[in-house]
Amino acid sequence: MIVVTGAAGFIASCLVTRLNEANFNDIVVVDNFSIAKKENNLKGKKIKEYVDRMEFFSWLEKNYEEVEFIFHLGARTDTTEFNKDIFDLLNLNYSKQMWNACCEYQIPLVYASSAATYGSGKLGYDDDETIIPLLHPLNPYGDSKNDFDKWVLEQTAKPFFWAGLKFFNVYGPNEYHKGRMASVVLHAFKQIQETGKLKLFRSHNPDFKDGEQMRDFIYVKDVVEVCYFLMQNRKHSGIYNLGSGKARTFLDLAFQTFQAMGREAEIDFVDTPSDIRDTYQYFTEANMQKLRDAGYDKPFHTLEEGVQDYVKHYLLEGKYF
């Protein structure tokens, strides 16, 4: 059996599809299944068992001998949430419990970290584990992910294979439920569909023109492909970046979305909301050499390829992956 936590969410539900495509059908999905707007993310997938996240460790104690691999992708991911207690509970302490269980039962583990750990990017975006204790994330979400990475690196007990993945700006199908935390592509699509126009955040940084803030946007299909690779190649444990390796502007993304929808581009700029303005990242770009050195050799979707696929095959048709 393969366990996927956060399975009703965006990235994890896409991973379940990828595993099914490879004929892995004994999937145990773990989540809080009371959120109705996530239900379609798992509809039609081959799943062995549904386990509530708060009952998972009791379940694992009884079933660990049958578990081949755990993908721990469940987390509170709201970067505008400032209640540290929520992150301590769901991100930090739950993940420590997961790590300890994988050590005890010797189950290989891939877990979700985040590019939010890099903060302002002052120290760059290299997944060199020696800089992790020096990083200063910009919000409690980033802190919770970095705190767990730091804790992991301090442990003497480790699963025989483990990997932490610092997800950069992931976009793609199955994020309909995410609201404000959805990708810019989904927000752009909805705005263009409703108004024919798109609003982007104005730059409040003199080094960047409006719309030229840059992010490393990575298509979710690439993310789950890397997860699948790590499950199949359990050789090089460590913390890895997971982005496309190429920063692109929000204007690039906007123009691609208009084009995929067959619309003329019409863009207005609005002030970045005050509650996130001081913690806003103006540039992110993953150094992907470490993953390449570990043997991952597939190309990543370009922004053009990813946006075209997402808009034409999912958003315009209202489909799930």
Residue 141 annotated to the active site: yes
pLDDT at 77: 58
pLDDT at 60: 98
Distance between CA 256 and CA 308 in Å, rounded?
7
pTM: 0.94
Single out the catalytic residue among 94, 111, 141, 228. Answer: 141
pLDDT at 173: 98
pLDDT at 179: 87
Average pLDDT, the chain: 94
Length of the chain: 321
Known binding-site residues equal 10-11, 31-32, 38, 53, 73-77, 145, 169-170, 178, 180, 187, 201-204, 215, 280
Distance between CA 223 and CA 16 in Å, rounded?
12
Helix (H/G/I), strand (E/B), else coil: 207: coil
Known binding-site residues for NADP(+) equal 10-11, 31-32, 38, 53, 73-77, 145, 170, 178
Give per-residue pLDDT as tens, 156-193: 999 999 999 999 999 999 999 998 889 999 999 999 99
Single out the catalytic residue among 178, 190, 199, 246. Answer: 178
DSSP H helical ranges for the chain: 10-21, 56-63, 84-87, 94-105, 140-154, 184-195, 220-232, 250-260, 274-277, 289-293, 303-310
Q: How far is CA 164 from CA 130, 199, 234, in A?
A: 15, 34, 13
pLDDT at 280: 82
pLDDT at 141: 86
Give per-residue pLDDT as tens, 253-308: 999 999 999 999 999 999 998 888 887 888 999 999 999 999 999 999 999 999 99
Task: For residues 23-37, give the mean pLDDT.
Answer: 94
223 phi and psi angles, rounded to 5 deg? -60, -50
Known binding-site residues for substrate equal 169, 180, 187, 201-204, 215, 280
Give per-residue pLDDT as tens, 215-230: 999 999 999 999 999 9
CA atoms within 13 A on the CB side of 200: 23
